[in-house]
Chain A
Amino acid sequence: VNDLHVLCRVADADYVVAAADVLQMESFAGATKVPGAGAEVAGLVQIRGRVVPVIDLRTVFGLPTITPTIDSRVVVTKRGGRTVGLLVDSAREVIKIPEGDFQPPPSVLTQQTEGIVKAVAQVGTRLLMLVDVGKVVGEERIEERTDGQ
């Protein structure tokens, strides 16, 4: 079970999120903007009666945002009691990647993404980057923000 991963695409690159961190995937047609929230926060969406903040992975990776398309997806993740959605260009497959197939990322990638890509795996011709949901959701950053209030 731990080998299952959700495959998603942001711009020209493929990413995977551990399925254990994922609650569900939802289509995306825009979010309620939250003035004053961090730039990476696309806004709030309502998913099955619950209000979930959405982080745009494009902003996280320093890419320009795009108008939502029919393929846009919110990958709803759950970690440590928090539920946060990750906005990706598309997410269609769940694939199996044995743990042994993951390699540590090149150090330059670690630096550039501040550790958000925690491993890479070569599957067929594709290079998949494993997203550290905890880092994206930003446990540390949130603490700073809360303290600063």
Chain B
Amino acid sequence: LSDFDTADFIAGFIAEAEEHLGAVNANLLSIEGAAHKGEPTPRQVRDLFRSFHTLKGLAAMVGVDPIVDIAHAMETVLREADRAAGRLPTGAVELLLRGTGVVEQGVRALAKKRPVRAAPASLLSALTDLRQTADGTLRPATATSLPAEMWAKLSAAEREQLVRGMEGGRAALLILFRPSPERVAAGVTITSIRERVAAAGEIVKVLPQSIPASENAPGGLAFALIVLSSAEESALVAAAAVEPSDLTPIRLEAPPSGGPLPAEADLGPDDHNLGREGVVRVEVKRLDEALERLSALVVTQFRLVRTLAALREGGADVRALAQVVGENGRQLRDLRGAIMRARMVSVAELLERVPLIVRGASRATGKPARVEMSTGHAELDKAVAERIFPAIVHLIRNAIDHALESADERRAAGKPEVGLVSVACHERSDNQLELIVSDDGRGVDAEAVARRAGTAVPATPEALLELLARPGLSTRAEVTQTSGRGVGMDVVRRITVDELRGELSLATAPGRGTTFTLRIPLSITIVDAFSFACGGETFVVPVSTVEEIREIDVAKVVRGPDRRKTPRGEPDRRRATRTSDMIERRGQAVPLLQLDELLGLPSAEAPLRKAIIVRRNGEPFAFAVDRMLGQQEIVVRPIEDALIQLTGISGTTDLGDGRPTLVLDLAALGDRLASDGTGAAA
């Protein structure tokens, strides 16, 4: 391999390794959790084994021996555990976590083009010792009433899982699910069934079955779900939406029929593939490039539309051309959607490392904590995901460090000793994602925060959040290892509100806990935007930031005290002081700000007619503008040069005239007015 090839290869290795490491950490944590309850975890052990097996192979291909060595040592421990139906020797999880840390360090070193250090000899020998002391004996296999062809398709670990579950008093069931057009129409698919069954029981295996094709099963395909459950059978039937006749209990049968143990060759094709099938890893840079090209096309389309309009005005018959241009526009929108989807990453994947962060913070503080995650299928633009992740980490660390009480305190307060941190998210209808990080800790002590900030006790959650987000404010006197001092909420707010133009809110109850809600756009690269004219210029504003657009009834504008005069010395009737004009909106007085004046642009002769209403920190602001021009999807380019990095301007876009058009962040403008009272832009 030439140097270039190797470099390319290593980049691929790093990406692949990171994916495996994410899964490894999640599996190790779930094994650790199950071990506390004395439950075996054959599935996770097997997954771990596969991960390290693959990592070892990949590392050998790029010639990183230290990773090969440590991965091999861990793989060996795990293979034996797999043969022992997922029982890991005592102390194994700790060593495996340390070993995983060594692999992670190695991958990071590779990424920075630094030499990879050899795995500590002490760790390697500890892993070897583990193998020697491990209980490698396997219980005699047991048979069940499961049809032989199905039994044959189960791995030893899965058989063990099934038999152990039944021996432990749980019911084992075989559920046959036949997909049909009716069921699909009702939204019932194998995926939904799988989820619902998993909620009622533990799925050991899903086996696709070929059945005679019929009217109800035109595909000739059914799925056999082998499930362990302690719930009532009827609950399961309902969950799976199948007829009772499709449900067969599985019984234990006496004669042992010892199947072969899983050897390396028994692992299936999965383990020898590099990466998931049908998945291509792409550098974000390349997607950005595709987007750049697309935005150039979009601009060309805008120009086509303009040219077409000019032709039409000149009296030409453009009907045929208009049809083609319209079609082109639709195709561009589809293409844009496709590129946008390619940029999306799953939130579940983004939050994969959260349990590890919770574990780390819990260990560092000595406070027992567990995490509950509910991430669903939401997806986020990669650029947003990368920015929001540090904010989530801050919130989780803060929750454990500041919010959760010590085990003693919790016991005294009658709470469970183990604190709970939960992370949930769901997609909203307005192209926004809601992320909720909450804890069941002591709640934010508003008085303590006020004392520390040297202000009055905040009366509302918004005011409290405002105080918490003051740079440098920390509610803890001592510096802690996990949160540090004074870092946290200001960073979270900067990322959520200032960088992503999202919203951040807080709810807290003394003794019961705190919830932070982050509302962020799914994408900041391609957004739906309103264009409007003001002060002789054209601007755009993302639709997601706009609460409402309404006519201004000039006669109904409420004028606060205004001490300014027109140049002729008369009281200025047309506009009042920036912060004293108000309009009534659903019984609420909303400040009305003249955008042209605010931006230092020439003022129009006639009063501005349209108001764009935005909300910042819960407070509405209305901005008066000349007129609305339209609504379109735009590609936002961030402002790169510090000369024009100004509050209220979030980027530029090209509306087809070949010149940049400013993308305004009206909420930030409103916020600046509220905070410093000056109208001067920057």
Q: Do A and B come from one complex?
A: yes
Residues of chain A having any CB pair with chain B under 8 Å? 30-38, 41, 44-46, 49, 51-53, 55, 82-84, 137-138, 142, 145-146, 149
- Tell me the bound Cα distance from A55 to B645 in angstroms: 15
| B296 within 8 A of partner (CB) | yes
Q: Are B646 and A37 in contact (CB under 8 A)?
A: yes
Q: Are A32 and B642 in contact (CB under 8 A)?
A: no
Q: Are A33 and B537 in contact (CB under 8 A)?
A: yes
B interface, how many residues as a size bin? 20 to 34
Q: Are B641 and A84 in contact (CB under 8 A)?
A: yes
21 examples of A-B residue contacts, CB within 8 angstroms: A32-B652, A32-B660, A32-B662, A34-B649, A34-B662, A35-B599, A35-B600, A36-B648, A36-B682, A37-B644, A37-B682, A38-B643, A44-B644, A46-B654, A51-B637, A51-B639, A53-B644, A55-B643, A82-B640, A146-B642, A149-B647
CB contacts (< 8 Å) of A83 on chain B: these are 640-641
CB contacts (< 8 Å) of B652 on chain A: these are 32, 44, 51
A interface footprint on B582-612 (CB within 8 Å = 1, 0 otherwise): 0000000000000000111100000000000
| B659 within 8 A of partner (CB) | yes
- Tell me the bound Cα distance from A49 to B652 in angstroms: 12
User: What residue in chain A is nearest B537 (Cβ atoms)?
Assistant: A33
| B463 within 8 A of partner (CB) | no
Residues of chain B having any CB pair with chain A under 8 Å? 292, 296, 537, 598-601, 637, 639-649, 652, 654, 658-662, 680-682
Q: Are A51 and B660 in contact (CB under 8 A)?
A: yes
A149 to B: closest C-beta gap in Å: 7
- Tell me the bound Cα distance from A44 to B639 in angstroms: 10
CB contacts (< 8 Å) of B647 on chain A: these are 36, 149
- Tell me the bound Cα distance from A9 to B186 in angstroms: 74
Given contacts A36-B600, A146-B642, 13 further A-B contacts (CB under 8 A): A32-B661, A33-B537, A33-B601, A35-B599, A36-B599, A36-B646, A36-B682, A51-B639, A82-B641, A84-B641, A142-B643, A145-B642, A149-B645
| Given known A53-B643, A55-B643, A84-B643, contact A36–B681 (CB-CB < 8 A) | yes
CB contacts (< 8 Å) of B599 on chain A: these are 35-36
User: What residue in chain B is nearest A143 (Cβ atoms)?
Assistant: B642
CB contacts (< 8 Å) of B598 on chain A: these are 35
Q: Are A41 and B658 in contact (CB under 8 A)?
A: no
| Given known A32-B652, A36-B682, A51-B637, contact A44–B660 (CB-CB < 8 A) | yes
Q: Are B601 and A35 in contact (CB under 8 A)?
A: yes
- Tell me the bound Cα distance from A61 to B648 in angstroms: 29
- Tell me the bound Cα distance from A30 to B641 in angstroms: 19
Q: Are A49 and B682 in contact (CB under 8 A)?
A: no
User: What residue in chain A is nearest B645 (Cβ atoms)?
Assistant: A146
B326 to A: closest C-beta gap in Å: 25
- Tell me the bound Cα distance from A17 to B654 in angstroms: 30
Q: Which of B645, B649, B660, B682 contacts A46 (CB 8 A)?
A: B660
- Tell me the bound Cα distance from A31 to B537 in angstroms: 11
- Tell me the bound Cα distance from A36 to B645 in angstroms: 10
A85 to B: closest C-beta gap in Å: 10
User: What residue in chain B is nearest A41 (Cβ atoms)?
Assistant: B643
Q: Are A49 and B296 in contact (CB under 8 A)?
A: yes
Q: Which 6 A-B pairs have the closest CB atoms?
A: A36-B681, A35-B599, A36-B682, A142-B642, A44-B660, A53-B643
